[in-house]
Amino acid sequence: MAKGTGTPGEHPTLRARPLRENEYAAWHRAFTDSYARDIAEHGGTDPELARRKAEADMARLLTDGIATPDHTILVLEAGGERVGLLWVGPRLVDGVRVLFIWDVEIDAAFRGRGHGRGAMLLAEEVAREQGLDRIELNVFGGNAVARSLYRSLGYVERAVSMGKDLGGPDTAR
């Protein structure tokens, strides 16, 4: 969590705490790896290019690491166990400052228990605390479970990018 911001309150299923300094390097590495895989798999990008994009995006977004102003990285816990993570920060969308959900991840063993919904409600709290009245996020097309959750919470798809690989030499990976 960025310095100078408060931790959002608790929800019935979740407790949120700031990511600790000693947890940051492992999280950063794991997130960058996962992001690069998603870019390659869902974005149809060469794995090496996806890796470079992921690393460049992380360097651009978290300029001061865990202390990057206005970025909040929360570890989500339930019953004393880590169940996931939420990373939010500012972004300009059509000239308007919004709270952007850079990552929301519920650990596989804890999915299907309402923690994703709780994480999204925590994001709403963070937005209100920062005086923002809009939240935006991106979700890869193959993530039907997340898309369904977001729709159930009132999120509306703004754009959908589609493509079709025809199996030619330009699409081989």
DSSP string, 153-167: TT-------------
pLDDT at 11: 55
Is this model's pTM higher than 0.75 or not? yes
Tell me: domain 15-156, CATH 3.30.360.10, correct? Answer: no
From CA 43, how far away is CA 39, in angstroms rounded?
5
pLDDT tens track, the chain, 173 positions: 333 334 455 555 689 999 999 999 999 999 999 999 999 988 889 999 999 999 999 999 999 999 999 999 999 999 999 999 999 999 999 999 999 999 999 999 999 999 999 999 999 999 999 999 999 999 987 788 999 999 999 999 988 888 787 886 655 54
What is the pLDDT at residue 125? 93
- For residue 8, the model assigns a pLDDT of 53
Identify whether the C-beta of residue 101 lies closer than 8 Å to the C-beta of residue 89.
no
Q: Where are the domains of the chain?
A: 15-156
* pLDDT attached to residue 3: 31
